[in-house]
Amino acid sequence: MYHGDHWPDLRREHRTRRTQKRQRRQRQRDVTKPFGGIVDTVTSSSSTQARVTARERLSVLVTGGAGFLGSHLCEHLIERGHRVICLDNFHTGRAENVRSLTGSGRFDLVEHDIVEPFPKELPHFDHIYNLACPASPQHYQADPVATALICSQGVYNCLRAAEQHGARVFHASTSEIYGDPEIHPQTEGYHGNVNTVGPRSCYDEGKRFAETLVTDFGRRAGLVTRMARIFNTYGPRMQPDDGRVVSNFVVQALLGKDITVYGSGEQTRSFCFVSDLIDGFTRLMSNGDGSLGPVNLGNPIETTVRALAHIIIDIVGSRSKVVYQPLPIDDPRRRRPDIAQARAALGWSPKVELAEGLRHTIRYFDDELRRAPQSQFDAAHSAYRRSGAVAEDLALAAADQGSSYSSRGSRLLDRSLT
Ligand SMILES: NC(=O)c1ccc[n+]([C@@H]2O[C@H](COP(=O)([O-])OP(=O)(O)OC[C@H]3O[C@@H](n4cnc5c(N)ncnc54)[C@H](O)[C@@H]3O)[C@@H](O)[C@H]2O)c1
């Protein structure tokens, strides 16, 4: 942890290390646990794409592969017949998310922090998808300096590794680079309206810098690079306690608790179901030969946050009430991607309707809720209530929960390559 100009409190750091040790032991136990996630046709986009032949098989490195999006990407690549090396420090991801893939004989799980140089003994890879970065405001604001380093040093290490392996690069950028946008919908040509010194800046500015680094490194090193500017995406395997609007509302509705809307609820977001997004990732990565500039990937249908709350209450059949709290600093008022470029260049557009995607997501959380002790979801709920708090409160809360970064070096947790 780093608080302004003060050195970290040593006792807190010691407590944090102890908690991290406990969490690491738990993660190792997770690797041997049976996989509990749902396997569902709509969560898999592979049904529309044929399996590759042995000659076409690629070795693909996915950083952040044990997270929400990363685990769906790994699953998709394995189903298509590729070989996958999943590299993750488990800051927000879980080994359980990729547990089902270890039996494929084509999947490696490596514990590693991308801020550190990549392990030399990594197997050769042809493609790298860089998804490693906490994506929810609660997580990326908990240790903003770590977030800025992931987006800078971490991305640099990915690019260096890609250069050494001669690999094609995919980088997960974000709609947050548009900040609180002055044009609507947002096109790739819009340069954004971002606060450089607000609580969200570590992520927003970090991701902007990462786009620059990927572009310049690509030009200098002759790498083929692809970047997706991802708009809000939801689906199974989101974390119940990560402060993102869909998971928060679903968990609150399932628990029958008040649904907390920040601001008037008139702010809009566009919600893309995870299988549509993963389809966009792989199309973007496999399309043509040269590097491409950033491409918006998201659902262009705009929904107010208040409407989302009511749709979820209706699907769940919940008795939850909607309550309103002040809007957090720098919260964007409108978000909608212009996806003309993705349509034209990739033939891509989202297919899954909001109500359908939400039903799958609700079923996932319902299963999780039945499996988890009630206390865990109560913790998730109170974490959500904190998510509107100022960054300082979040940083202190995170330090108490031991969630700052410490992973040094790397470990192969599961090797199924023969
Ligand atoms: N989900 C969305 O709506 C969304 C929107 C815009 C951009 N993105 C981007 O997509 C990527 C994945 O997002 P997600 O929603 O799956 O988030 P997530 O938090 O579920 O996944 C991030 C993964 O990266 C891992 N990670 C974090 N720091 C790491 C580090 N230093 N070294 C190695 N691994 C590390 C985490 O443990 C986790 O498995 C992120 O880069 C995010 O910025 C996501």
Give residue-wise pLDDT tens across range 268-286. 999 999 999 999 999 999 9
DSSP state of 150: I
What's residue 412's pLDDT? 64
Interval between CA 171 and ligand 1 midpoint (Å)? 11
Beta-sheet strand order (sheet of 295-297): 295-297, 225-230, 168-174, 127-130, 59-63, 83-88, 107-112, 410-415
What's residue 31's pLDDT? 34
How far is residue 62's CA from residue 129's CA, in Å, rounded to a whole number? Answer: 5
How far is residue 48's CA from residue 55's CA, in Å, rounded to a whole number? Answer: 20
Confidence of residue 253 (pLDDT cuts 50, 70, 90): very high
3-state secondary structure 276-291: HHHHHHHHHHHCCCCC
- Residue ranges around ligand 1 (CB below 6 Å): 63-64, 66-70, 88-93, 113-115, 131-135, 150, 154, 172, 174, 230, 232-233
What's residue 241's pLDDT? 83
Average pLDDT over residues 194-212: 97
Cis previous bond, 185, omega within 30: yes
CATH of domain 31-233+274-299+338-352+384-414: 3.40.50.720
In the chain, % of residues over pLDDT 90: 72
What's residue 242's pLDDT? 84
In the chain, % of residues over pLDDT 70: 77
Confidence of residue 414 (pLDDT cuts 50, 70, 90): low
The answer to whether residue 123 scores a pLDDT higher than 80 is yes
| 192-210 core/surface letters (b: 16 or more CB in 10 A; e: else) | bebeeebbbbbbbbbbbeb
How far is residue 175's CA from residue 203's CA, in Å, rounded to a whole number? Answer: 11
What's residue 199's pLDDT? 95
The answer to whether residue 91 scores a pLDDT higher than 60 is yes
- Which of 141-150, 346-355, 381-390 is predicted with the least confidence, judged by mean pLDDT? 381-390
What's residue 251's pLDDT? 96
Q: Residue 104: which region, alpha, beta or left (left: phi > 0; alpha: psi -120 to 50)? A: alpha
Interval between CA 173 and ligand 1 midpoint (Å)? 10
- Ligand 1 atom at shortest distance from the alpha carbon of 146: 31
SS3 385: helix
What's residue 328's pLDDT? 83
The answer to whether residue 70 scores a pLDDT higher than 90 is yes
What's residue 15's pLDDT? 44
Look up residue 244 and give its two tokens: 């993102």
- Residue nearest atom 23 in ligand 1 by C-alpha distance: 64
Q: For residue 380, which of 244, 269, 235 has the smallest C-alpha distance?
A: 244
Look up residue 82 and give its two tokens: 């590729």
The overall average pLDDT reported for the chain is: 83
How far is residue 268's CA from residue 286's CA, in Å, rounded to a whole number? Answer: 32
Let me know if 203 is a catalytic residue.
Answer: yes
Confidence of residue 20 (pLDDT cuts 50, 70, 90): low
- Residue nearest atom 42 in ligand 1 by C-alpha distance: 135
Q: For residue 277, which of 85, 71, 52, 80 has the smallest C-alpha distance?
A: 71
The amino acid present at 138, given as its one-letter code, is Q
- Which of 70-84, 105-119, 212-226, 395-409 is predicted with the least confidence, judged by mean pLDDT? 395-409
Confidence of residue 373 (pLDDT cuts 50, 70, 90): low
Which one of 131, 158, 299 would you pick to mutate in the ligand 1 pocket, going by the greatest count of ligand atoms within 8 A of its CB? 131
